[in-house]
Amino acid sequence: MRRRPCKRVWPPWWRSTRCVRPRRTPRAVGAGEYVGLLEDEPVTGGAEFEPVARALLERLLAEPREVVTLLTGEDEPDLSELLAELERANPEVEIEVHEGGQQNYPLLVSAE
């Protein structure tokens, strides 16, 4: 059976409504899955929020950073484990979490 090619969509950080086949991710991201973008390029994706968020944060923190700001969306994800890991692995980075309340985007991340 032959698979149909995915339509490309570039939503920021949210559940994809169609599938995405990013150039830098190992597999296509299907409908209903999370997509992690770094500078408008999809770099990770998957069915579960936490692994996608972790992979994106690891990419962001591959370069020296002083501050990472997380804006949680309207349907705020549980970040407790992720934050604990992030603080343990990067004690020199200041981590800020704010309620952004944005629709469709469970998490927006900024790194300086």
pLDDT of amino acid 55: 94
Structure-token pair, residue 63: 């370069």
Return the higher-pLDDT residue of 99 and 10: 99
Percent of the chain with pLDDT over 70: 76
pLDDT of amino acid 4: 44
Please enumerate in sequence order all residues whose Cβ is within 8 A of that of 78, keeping only pairs 6 or more positions apart, or say none.
Answer: none
Answer for the pair 47, 28: CB distance below 8 angstroms, yes or no: no
Percent of the chain with pLDDT over 90: 54
Return the higher-pLDDT residue of 104 and 17: 104
Distance CA(28)–CA(10), nearest Å, equals 13
pLDDT of amino acid 32: 84
Please enumerate in sequence order all residues whose Cβ is within 8 A of that of 104, keeping only pairs 6 or more positions apart, or say none.
Answer: 11, 14, 15, 73
